[in-house]
């Protein structure tokens, strides 16, 4: 393979978005990485990056090369990892992509025990809410909401993530407890509108199982992150729809109460762990997947269900 150092440097710069970030991953200086990429550009006779003092962006030619090299270099990395299969050792780096709030609350606490038990294992976790191209960006494990329908990936469900409506005792004392969805018209509602997307509706069940419906959300406060709504809700600002797993510590402490439980539709959201579907999964990935799934399975808050909450959790 011609100019392997250049291809590796190019791929890491494309993934990191900077020569400095790539240098840190490759344990090289930024100048060395820049030189490797410059040699590759000279060899190919094309410019791969548009550089400025503030950012590095792929050219059209660079984007096409990235799509091919990321897969090829990943296969080479897997070949090296699988060479240690006979020993069964978890050796090398595992790259994980996970959403910010879920990663911070549930994933990060599990990592020290995994690395302590596997002394030659390195874990690199990217906390980011953006969609990722798992194979092109070189991630070994991706954790996101929902199930990605792609035959080349294995999907392992971590947990269902029901939604609940919550408000603080102080707010409910001042404004009253809604007894039906129609009562929400007289309340302060806290809504979620993702960046670049439409608002997330509130859905309800019809009495007697006659299907569901949603209400128009006339909120005065909108945030892009559902977990962030806990802050205003705790400050008596209104009623918010949040994930039960995020609300559980506050429900247990009495700082929040669930409203319209049983009438509100908890939805069928779930959190899923994905990894490449291969006959011989590298030990470093298998060990990490197994440890993460075991640790997450033992978290009570993550597996709580609205219909099993103690009566004291509801208003």
Domain 1-83 has CATH 3.40.50.2300: no
Report the relative pairing of strands 257-259 and 163-167 from DSSP bridges.
antiparallel
Please report the sign of the dihedral spanned by the C-alpha atoms of residue 156, residue 159, residue 163, residue 169: negative
Q: What is the pLDDT along the chain (315 residues), one digit of tens a residue?
A: 567 888 888 888 888 888 888 888 788 888 889 899 998 888 888 889 988 767 788 898 888 888 877 777 776 766 665 555 545 678 889 999 998 888 998 999 999 999 999 999 999 999 988 888 887 788 899 998 865 555 567 888 899 989 999 999 999 999 999 999 999 999 999 999 877 677 888 999 987 766 789 988 889 899 988 888 999 999 999 999 999 999 999 999 999 999 999 999 988 788 999 887 655 578 899 899 999 999 999 998 899 999 999 999 999
Domain boundaries, given as residue ranges, for the chain: 1-83, 163-268
In angstroms, the CA 94 to CA 186 distance is 50
CATH architecture of 163-268: 3-Layer(aba) Sandwich (3.40)
Phi, psi (rounded to 5 degrees) for 109: -60, -20
CB of 136 closer than 8 Å to CB of 71? yes
Pairing of strands 92-98, 270-276: unpaired
Do the beta carbons of residue 287 and residue 94 sit within 8 Å?
A: no
Q: What single DSSP character describes residue 263?
A: T
């Amino acid at each position: 393979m011609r100019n392997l150092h250049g291809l590796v440097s190019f791929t890491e710069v494309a993934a990191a978005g900077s020569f400095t970030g790539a240098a840190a991953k490759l344990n090289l200086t930024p100048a060395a990485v820049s030189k490797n990429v410059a040699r590759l550009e000279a060899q190919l006779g094309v410019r791969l990056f548009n550089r400025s003092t503030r950012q590095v962006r792929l050219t059209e030619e660079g984007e096409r090369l990235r799509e091919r090299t990321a897969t090829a270099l990943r296969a080479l990395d897997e070949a090296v990892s699988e060479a240690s299969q006979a020993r069964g050792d978890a050796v090398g780096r595992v790259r994980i992509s996970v959403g910010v709030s879920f990663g911070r609350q549930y994933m990060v606490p599990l990592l020290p025990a995994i690395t302590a038990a596997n002394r030659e294992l390195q874990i690199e976790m990217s906390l980011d809410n953006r969609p990722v191209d798992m194979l092109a960006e070189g991630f070994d494990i991706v954790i996101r909401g929902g199930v990605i329908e792609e035959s080349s990936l294995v999907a392992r469900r971590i947990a269902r993530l029901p939604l609940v409506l919550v408000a603080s005792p102080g707010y409910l004392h001042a404004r009253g407890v809604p007894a039906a969805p129609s009562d929400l018209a007289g309340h302060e509602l806290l809504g979620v509108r993702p960046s670049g997307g439409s608002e997330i509706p509130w859905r309800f069940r019809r009495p007697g199982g006659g299907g569901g419906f949603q209400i128009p959300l006339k909120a005065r406060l909108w945030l892009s992150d559902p977990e962030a709504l806990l802050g205003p809700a705790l400050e008596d600002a209104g009623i918010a729809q949040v994930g039960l797993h995020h609300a559980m510590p506050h429900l247990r402490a009495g700082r929040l109460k669930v409203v319209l439980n049983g009438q509100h539709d908890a939805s069928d959201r779930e959190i899923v762990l994905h990894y490449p579907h291969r006959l011989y999964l590298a030990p470093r990935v298998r060990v990490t997947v197994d440890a993460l799934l075991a640790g997450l399975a033992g978290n009570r808050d993550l597996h709580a269900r609205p219909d099993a909450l103690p009566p004291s959790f509801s208003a």
